[in-house]
Amino acid sequence: MRDLKVTPIKNGTVIDHIPTGMALKVLRVLGIAGDVASTVSVLMHVPSKHRGWKDIVKVEDRELNPRELNKIALIAPDATINIIRNYNVAEKHTVTLPERAVGILKCGNPNCITNGREPVESVFLVRSKEPLRLRCQYCDRELEDVATAIL
């Protein structure tokens, strides 16, 4: 299974080593919906040399900002980001967890003020990276399941 079913892209961003099943959440975290101007390929359940299976996302003609991309570390801590220029990997980054996750997670506490109609974005502070522990800045409650809390 050396050749992928999707051809290499000429210019853009490839997000590799996403845990299998998380590709669509990665798109959601990055705010990539149906309104993009270029082709977005999502490969799910692709054989991986290191971990059995993985997902891959390719966004053509767009170089995603590495700082933005760090948000996906919340759900894909081992993801790698390849910036492609003229079919070559021009830059390669690994994601690093930000100190704060703003506006991308919903607090799991139903009685948290951020779950009402207030005009605020949720803010989570990273308490520990390994294992991943996040605390709501407003109600202080720890988030139990990060993947399901993504807005």
125 binds another protein (CB under 8 A): no
142 binds another protein (CB under 8 A): yes
Among 24, 140, 148, 151, the residue binding another protein under the rule CB under 8 A is 140
Instruction: Pick out residues in 91-110 that bind another protein (CB under 8 A).
Output: 107, 109
In whole angstroms, the minimum distance from the beta carbon of 111 to another protein comes to 5
Q: Are 51 and 12 in contact (CB under 8 A)?
A: no
Instruction: Pick out residues in 39-78 that bind another protein (CB under 8 A).
Output: none
How far is Cα 5 from Cα 46, in angstroms, rounded to an integer? Answer: 10
In whole angstroms, the minimum distance from the beta carbon of 110 to another protein comes to 10
116 binds another protein (CB under 8 A): yes
In whole angstroms, the minimum distance from the beta carbon of 74 to another protein comes to 20
119 binds another protein (CB under 8 A): yes
* DSSP per-residue string spanning 42-89: EEEEEEETTTEEEEEEEEET----HHHHGGGGGT-TT-EEEEEETTEE
Please report, for residues 100, 122, 138, the alpha-carbon distance to residue 117 in angstroms, rounded to integers and kept in the order given: 22, 12, 14
Query: Of 5-13, 52-60, 96-104, 132-140, which part binds another protein (CB under 8 A)?
Result: 132-140
137 binds another protein (CB under 8 A): yes
Query: Of 18-26, 72-80, 89-97, 133-141, which part binds another protein (CB under 8 A)?
Result: 133-141
**Which residues share a beta bridge with 31?**
none
Q: Are 55 and 18 in contact (CB under 8 A)?
A: yes
Termini Cα distance of the chain = 35
Determine the 3-state secondary structure of 118 from DSSP: coil
Sites of contact with another protein (CB under 8 A): 107, 109, 111-114, 116-120, 136-142
